[in-house]
Amino acid sequence: MHKTTLEKANSAESMFSVSALNVKNKKTQKLYSVLFLMMTLLLILPVLVILGTLIVKGGSMISIDFLFTDPVNGMTEGGVFPALLGTVWLVSLALLVSVPLGIAAAIYLSEYASDNWFTRIINLAIINLAGVPSIVHALFGLGAFVMFFGFGTSILAASLTLAIMTLPVVIVSTRESLQAVPHAFREACWNMGATRWQTIRRVVLPNAVSGILTGVILEVSRTTGETAPIMFTGAAFFLPFLPQGIFDQTMALSLHLFVVSTQVPNVPEALPYAVALVLIGMVLLMNSVSIALRMYLRGQKKW
């Protein structure tokens, strides 16, 4: 039997109207989007609470003087200058080692190496190196640099330990930014008879540099906060003088924070918060520089 025209029109109308199942699916969809929004907000919450607490409790102590004077009176008064300077020493020296090494390794892995068991083992090693706990790196640094190479507990030994610890970060981020450069650029170069190095030097690196820099700066911010690796290898509890060279020990912000918050009696309540604020301020500053730089360099290129 055929339906009448009228019946057809009616059924067509109901065909496009809301069904119970539609309503239910829509509700579920809404529920999940709200749920995930909550998760995201939950993620930001600790950051805000940490920053807020630090500023409220330690903000009053921060001043130019605090940054540029020595701690006095059993570290219960004065500033953080030796620790700040020590951190700058450690981080710069660590960078000086890990950046060239890491970028070279990443270039090899991304541009030269073919995919075989050897490079797969290297990749596996890099991933594992990134997963090694920092205290293990500390012990390695102690054994290798302090004792075996005889650098003693020194800035050099601590920086090398930090460098090894952050090497995987540099390698992975560099390799990713190299691989983000479109393959068509490489093909274009090869087809004009460019060697791999000419291709890398003239086309790949200039286009990957923003990503590489971002990775490096993120590494800086991570290195700044590390405590365990430098504790055994070169950072001192307290030093009455500034380091004169890379074979001296030094104070460092992260260790100083640990010390004033747990090891020294009669510290004013605000002091550890102020030290933490300086430390986190340094890291945030680095990150903002990294973001600004990335935005600037991204604006420069178009493809």
Partner 1 sequence: MNTAHDYAITTEKLNLWYGSFQALFDIDLNIRNGMITSLIGPSGCGKSTFLRSVNRINERLGYVRIDGKINVQEQNIYAEKVELVQVRKQIGMVFQRPNPLPVSIKENILFGHKLHVKDKKYSAADYNDIVEKSLRQVLLWDKVKDSLDQKATALSLEEQQKLCIARLLPVKPNILLMDEPCSALDPKGTAAVEELIWELRGEYSILLVTHNMAQARRASEECIFMLMGKVIEHKETSDLFVTPDKKETADYIEGRYG
Binding site for partner 1 (CB under 8 A): 114-115, 182, 184-185, 187-195, 198, 202-203, 207, 301-303
CA atoms of 181 and 29, how far apart (whole Å): 37
Q: Which residue number, 24 or 301, has a Cβ lying nearer to partner 1? A: 301
Q: Of 3 and 120, which CB lies nearer to partner 1 in the complex structure?
A: 120
Nearer to partner 1, 108 or 185 (CB): 185
The secondary structure of 201-222 as a DSSP string is IIIIHHHHHHHHHHHHHHHHHH
Would you say 167 and 98 are in contact if contact means Cβ atoms under 8 Å apart? Answer: yes
Neighbours of 30 (CB within 10 A): 10
In angstroms, give the least distance from the CB of 41 to partner 1: 39
Q: Which is nearer to partner 1, 133 or 182 (CB)?
A: 182
Closer of 107 and 217 to partner 1 (Cβ): 107
CA 102 – CA 169 distance, rounded (Å): 8
> Toward partner 1, which CB reaches closer, 100 or 182?
182
User: Nearest approach, Cβ of 184 to partner 1 (angstroms)?
Assistant: 4
DSSP states of 120-142: HHHHHHHHHHHHS-HHHHHHHHI
**Least CB distance from residue 217 to partner 1, whole Å?**
23
Minimum CB separation of residue 106 from partner 1 in Å reads: 19
Q: How far apart are CA 167 and CA 141, in angstroms?
A: 14
Q: Contact 161/93 with Cβ under 8 angstroms? A: no
The closest alpha carbon to 157, from 90, 63, 82, 74, belongs to: 90
> In whole angstroms, how close is the CB of 122 to partner 1 at the nearest point?
17
Q: In the complex, what is the shortest distance from the CB of residue 185 to partner 1, in angstroms, rounded to a whole number? A: 6
Q: For residue 133, with 0-12 CB atoms within 10 Å meaning exposed, 13-18 middle and 19 or more buried, which class applies?
A: exposed
